[in-house]
Structure 1
Amino acid sequence: MVIFSLEMIANIITIFLYLYLATNNYYIVDGRITSISQDLDDLDLERQLKLINKPPLKTIQADGYIVDCIDINKQPAFDNPLLKNHKIQLKPSFEVTSTKSTRLSSIVFEEDLCPNGTIPIRRTTKDDLIRAKMLSDPNAGILNKDIPGRHYAGLNLNKDGTPYYAISGIIDTYNLPVQNADQITSAYIYLSNQESVRDKNIIMAGWEVHPRVFGDGKTYFFIRWADKTKNKGCTNLICPGFVQVEPRFHLGKPVAQTSIYNGKQFELKVDIFLDSKTNNWWVRLNNISLGYYPGILFSKLAFANLGGWTGMTSTPAAIHSPPMGSGHFPDNNLYRTCYFRQMSFQTSTRTNLGPVKNTYAVASTDSSCYGVEYTGFNDPIQGYAMLFGGPGGNCGQ
């Protein structure tokens, strides 16, 4: 009979442990068990960060993150092979009507933020990339409409063969609570061209609370694009595509001031326009042209056949839906209900039109949780207006 000492038993256990870890892609460093695949992922993330974060000419310490001033000709958009030889369009070739408002103060454009010839870009971190990878569909999954737990309340332009080239609206802006990182509550305008979910091409812009994308529960202005035919697209600058030209504002900046129920209101004016001379889709915020999506990014967005103004929420299975808008149903009071006002769109005439009879449809996916009240044209200040939102809850589950 072989008698093993305690030391021999300990050595045998150690050998078996190392063999197990080695055959299961793990190793030990300084007493810490590490996954080989995890280590490779870290290396991959570091490589991606070096590609995304360009050498800055100036660095600015913001509230909890870093903003880099990047040469406008070396911005992340040009990592996209489709934009390899792209010539930057510094301003739209068309005149855009500006709308004055005493409430457009929730976004601040900072003069002399970056040196001439540069644009400000929020520095991407490893945590940002990890959150992006954790999305169910890292390209454009949050644009998929018909999935469980997603709800809408808004007004959609008719899909009747009419080509749409622009859409605008002033959006009342709130900060609402969500229960976990995968919930979303938002309000936005959009233009889209699609015959099926698989070939959807879309651009949207508005405000959103989405911790999985932004890392916290604050409200953010966001832009988003997708070409489902190519399975491409993303929010803000997570992937290369949007060409920024505005030097006084960076995407990924929290909205500092948001509306208070039955109190002071704050708004964002948002526009999406096609420049017919260049086929670039411009995005404007508070009457400022931030930049554009080059038309070459899209497989079929020479014009849109759909568009609208909408509130949206999303929640994982078995979790109650978050509130939308102000968190209250429409009650014909713009101090208590979230709203869009100065709603307009353009067709082939390229003049601003309002949603009138036979040009739109009002839709709410669950009237027990969210409502819509389209008031039409009210006065020169409100223009064409819509109230929307609700408390959420056990919606369609």
Structure 2
Amino acid sequence: MDFSIQIINLLLHFLVLVSLVYPINCSETSNHQLANQTFQQGENVYKLKKMIATHLQQINKPAVKTIQDPPESLIEHNQTSNLSDVFQLWSTSGESCPEGTIPIRRITEQDILRAGSISKFGQKYADGSKHEHAIVAVEGDGYTGAKASLNVWAPKVESRYEFSLAQIWLGSKDSETIEAGWQVCRTIYGDDRPRLFIYYTVDNYGTGCYNLKCSGFVQTNRKIVLGGTLAPISVYNGRQYDMTLKIEQHAKTGNWWLVFGKGNIVGYWPSSLFRELKGEAYFAHFGGEVINLKSTGSHTTTQMGSGHFDTEGYGKAAYIRNIQVAVNSPNVWIDLPDPEYTMEKENCYAIKGKYGKIWGNYIYFGGPGKNADCP
């Protein structure tokens, strides 16, 4: 970590302490001391804001055009079907970026402050013991792609430091993964809306980042926003919405390409980022994940999927359908060979897999977190 980042991290910590402690300070410090202390604190906050502003200038490239999300209430949806595709909220206004540019969600001062430090900004919580899953997995050398349609919900997340997501993972035998899906994460986005996201790591989550918050993923699409709001959202016992994602390796270059919806090529993870994923992936996983930051005595109330268990079925439990993996080169798409279903705490979050003529391999998954059987 360079010296400037160390300073920013220390000042961020100081700012949190000042905002929490100083307004309720009941000490008998003299007025002169208080005035001097207030001035020094104000000066430090000013320096902090200036450093963050400088960092944001480095991250945020100059905008050619700025586009706002329209209110979701203004969007009209076709009600002729009970199952429909998800799109991005910002695109409903008919806006798009000029040729030769891509849409990027602007990073703000509040985004960095929510993360707590520059070093943590854009990274996944690294303590694996705090992550809980309900997934279907296939493992063994030779996977060159994965695709599925993911049912989109807005699960309730208890803490701003927790998240809930549904995604596709492709990974190596050791420490490298490529991930894409939707997530609700207040720390990153500042709200409880489901967002399209990507992630990658090359060292088992020691480093890596979401979306375009660090160098790595090369976006080529001018209409898709990584980190952008997804709409509409599935309704319990009502209309269901899902989005289709595909990750596929290019046979000649080894780059991993991401496709969103009906043929929207978003961009690629260059093979040069990886050691093992220069070649084929060892595993493909599909399902849900949450972070449970409760230490002992009580489980988090953070929901996975719809917040309802797999046993409730269509329209109530979250699903992922038409799950396939690619093998060989050139890629051949196949149904899941010998899928395994995994969950750490089945009384909190569970999964059930089936196969059907229309949906192929599919799963129902999720749960409410804390409940009578998951105290």
Retained in 2: the 8 A contact 1:207–1:219? yes
C-alpha separation in 2, matches of 1:118 and 1:141: 28
Other-structure match for 1:292: 268
Other-structure match for 2:128: 146
Other-structure match for 2:151: 172
Q: How does 1:1-397 map to 2 (within 5 A)?
A: 13=30, 28=39, 33-34=41-42, 36=44, 38-63=45-70, 103-107=84-88, 109=91, 113-134=96-117, 137-138=120-121, 140-142=123-125, 144=126, 146-148=128-130, 150-158=131-139, 160=140, 162-195=141-174, 200-228=175-203, 231-287=206-262, 288-302=264-278, 303-318=280-295, 320-321=299-300, 322-331=302-311, 333-349=313-329, 350-357=331-338, 360-376=339-355, 378-379=356-357, 381-393=358-370
* Cα separation, partners in 2 of 1:140 and 1:28, compared to 1, 3 Å: closer
Q: Secondary structure at the match of 1:191?
A: strand
Other-structure match for 1:70: none
Instruction: Return the offset for 1:202.
Output: 0.9
Letter in 2 for 1:276: A
C-alpha separation in 1, matches of 2:238 and 2:118: 35
* Cα separation, partners in 2 of 1:138 and 1:260, compared to 1, 3 Å: same
For each residue in 1:151-194, what CA deviation from the matched residue of structure 2 results, as whole angstroms up to 9, or x when unmatched? 11110112x3x221101110111111122211211110010113
Instruction: Return the offset for 1:146.
Output: 2.6
Which shifted more, 42-51 or 54-63?
54-63
Retained in 1: the 8 A contact 2:124–2:205? no
Structure number with the higher helix fraction is 2
Tell me which structure has the larger Cα radius of gyration: 1
**TM-score (normalised: structure 2):** 0.79
* Cα separation, partners in 2 of 1:289 and 1:247, compared to 1, 3 Å: same
Retained in 2: the 8 A contact 1:46–1:126? yes
Instruction: Return the offset for 1:62.
Output: 3.3
Letter in 1 for 2:65: K
For each residue in 1:233-292, what CA deviation from the matched residue of structure 2 results, as whole angstroms up to 9, or x when unmatched? 111122222211111121222112111111100001011111122221111110311111
**TM-score (normalised: structure 1):** 0.75
Which shifted more, 228-237 or 300-309?
228-237
How many correspondences in the alignment?
328
C-alpha separation in 1, matches of 2:181 and 2:325: 16
For each residue in 1:331-382, what CA deviation from the matched residue of structure 2 results, as whole angstroms up to 9, or x when unmatched? 263222111111000122521111133xx31111111111111102x01x31
Instruction: Return the offset for 1:139.
Output: 6.0
Q: Secondary structure at the match of 2:340?
A: strand
Instruction: Return the offset for 1:125.
Output: 1.0
* Cα separation, partners in 2 of 1:173 and 1:229, compared to 1, 3 Å: closer
Retained in 1: the 8 A contact 2:288–2:304? yes
Retained in 2: the 8 A contact 1:139–1:232? no
Other-structure match for 2:25: none
Task: List structure 1 segments (4+ residues) > 4 angstroms apart after TM superposition.
Answer: 12-18, 108-112, 133-139, 394-397
* Cα separation, partners in 2 of 1:185 and 1:121, compared to 1, 3 Å: same
C-alpha separation in 2, matches of 1:118 and 1:170: 28
C-alpha separation in 2, matches of 1:291 and 1:270: 12
Instruction: Return the offset for 1:63.
Output: 4.6
* Cα separation, partners in 2 of 1:257 and 1:49, compared to 1, 3 Å: same
* Identical aligned residues as a percent: 27
C-alpha separation in 1, matches of 2:246 and 2:324: 9
Other-structure match for 2:8: none
RMSD between aligned residues: 2.7
Retained in 1: the 8 A contact 2:254–2:271? yes
Gaps of 5+ in 1: 1-11, 65-100
For each residue in 1:28-71, what CA deviation from the matched residue of structure 2 results, as whole angstroms up to 9, or x when unmatched? 17xxx3263x444323211221112112222223359xxxxxxx
Gaps of 5+ in 2: 1-28, 72-81
* Cα separation, partners in 2 of 1:333 and 1:136, compared to 1, 3 Å: farther
